[in-house]
Amino acid sequence: MEALYPVIVLFVLFFLNIPIAFALMGSALFYFIFLNTTMSMDMVIQQFVTSVESFPYLAVPFFIMVGSVMNYSGISEELMNMAEVLAGHMKGGLAQVNCLLSAMMGGISGSANADAAMESKILVPEMIKKGFSKEFSAAVTAASSAVSPVIPPGTNLILYALIANVPVGDMFLAGYTPGILMTLSMMITVYIISKKRGYNPSRERMARPSEILRQAIKSIWALAIPFGIIMGMRIGIFTPTEAGGVAVFFCFLVGFFVYKKLKLHHIPVILMETVKSTGAVMIIIASAKVFGYYMTLERIPQFITNSLMDFTDNKFVLLMVINLLLLFVGMFIEGGAALVILAPLLVPAVKALGVNPLHFGVIFIVNIMIGGLTPPFGSMMFTVCSIVGVRLEGFIKEVWPFIVALLVVLFVVTYSESIALFIPKTWKLSSVG
């Protein structure tokens, strides 16, 4: 029982609204100071340092920087124009554009909160002008931003690949199908609600093929980034870490010389945003690794694996139980932190029952993104509500149809490996052919 005291401390700190990194750090230090007194504190401090001394983790700040550069380079603006041309004529107009833009942005920004913040500032005011309610606009923005980290090259995909020891390129490919399904499910939900409420399109008619082609040529530089990254990794031109560096360099070139929106005075701002975001991610990773070290010493992963195996030897039942666990945890713990804490515990259990770790990665990441929408502590919920100025009660009332739509996608992805991994399996077959 003593071995579980740090876990109890962790949840107490969560409910006291202590930041996730400090809650993890505090509960781990509680163990090493009061329970495991034989271990030198120098060793514990060493764990904090060595946990992030990994070359693959260098990909994280690079991809964070890509998202930041994109906001100043005109790339996000061109993507929005492309989304508007493609979806503006549909029922719900700008709400449909909101959903499609998140899917396009996801491949570049890879951050749900960054996507939610940007769209809250740019699209939501326009949606309100067009007659959408403020609460509905906020709900669409938060829900659509859940797609961003699922579509490559999201940092959560990189973290899971490193934790589960699967190729980053394969994990990137696996993210496309659930990302597309999530986007479609939300666009259908927007259509149904818009038809019921009389929300009008932002365009009078569907764009002509020539107009779509012109905008596609303008946006091709932005759209090419995620595909270029994945293709480069798949054919062995660069590693995931090098891919991050290449993506940053490419975004700078596009911003300076193609769209000409990026200026020299933006660079210090970009660097500062990158440092702040990277620091926030890395301190969570370091704290989670030390917390994981405590769990390894107490053999908690083995205990959880054995308990789950004793509970059921049916992988479908196991996945249902894990889904319920992750959805519950996602209500309280930020997605990236949940990934770093729980993935090392759950991956061995699902592998023991024959679940493909790539498939489980997709399930896990979709789960934690749904958690970012749900009360009481959903991070996208708070980001959007604070920027737009919406009360939580109004937001919750409007967001539940989107949560239901995403849960349907989660069910499909969980119980159909062939759908979830359609793209990576098709790629492998074509490569062999």
Would you say residue 409 lies in a domain? yes
**152-174: b or e for each residue (b if 16 or more CB lie within 10 Å)?**
bbbbbbbbbbbbbebebbbbbbb
d(CA 383, CA 116) in angstroms, rounded, equals 7
Mean pLDDT computed over 328-349: 80
CB atoms within 10 A of CB 30: 17
Cis before residue 153, ω within 30 degrees of 0?
Answer: yes
Do the Cβ atoms of 121 and 158 come closer than 8 Å?
Answer: no
- Is 405 part of any domain? yes
Name the nearest CA neighbour of 362 among 107, 113, 164. Answer: 164
* pLDDT classification of 404: cutoffs 50, 70, 90: very high
Contact (CB, 8 A) for 148 and 115: yes
Specify the higher pLDDT residue, 36 or 249: 249
Place of tokens 């319920």: 324
**Token digits of residue 137:** 């606009």
- Does 430 score more than 60 pLDDT? no
Is 14 inside a domain boundary?
no
Whether the ω angle into residue 376 lies within 30 degrees of 0, i.e. cis, is yes
Prediction pTM value: 0.81
Domain containing 104 equals: 53-262+298-432
pLDDT 10s digits, 207-248: 888 988 998 888 888 778 777 777 787 777 888 778 888 888
Domain count within the chain: 1
pLDDT higher than threshold 80 for residue 331: no
Integer Cα distance of 296 and 317 in angstroms: 26
> Is there a domain that residue 346 lies in?
yes
Q: Compute CA 15 distance to the chain's CA centroid, rounded to the nearest angstrom.
A: 23
Instruction: Tell me if 277 is assigned to some domain.
Output: no
Q: Which of 275, 406, 299, 289 lies closest to 337, judged by CA? A: 289
Average pLDDT across the chain, whole number: 84
Q: What is the phi/psi pair of residue 424, to 5°?
A: -60, -35
Tokens (6 digits) for 162: 């490193």
Answer whether residue 12 is part of any domain: no
- pLDDT at position 155 is 78
Is 129 contained in some domain?
yes
pLDDT in tens, 77-126: 888 888 888 888 888 888 898 898 888 876 565 567 777 877 787 788 88
Contacts of 138 (CB under 8 A, 6+ apart): 120, 124, 384, 385, 388, 390, 395, 398
3-state SS, one letter per residue, for 364-388:
HHHHHHHHCCCCCCCHHHHHHHHHH
The one-letter amino acid code at 114 reads A
Is the peptide bond preceding residue 240 cis, with omega within 30 degrees of 0? no
- Which two structure tokens, joined as six digits, stand for 278? 């990277």
**Amino acid identity, position 411:** F
271, amino acid identity: L
Cβ neighbors of 337 (< 8 A, separation 6 or more) are 20, 21, 24, 284, 288
Bond before 61 cis per omega within 30 degrees: no
Q: Is residue 238 part of a domain?
A: yes
- Predicted confidence band at 432 (pLDDT cuts at 50, 70, 90)? very low
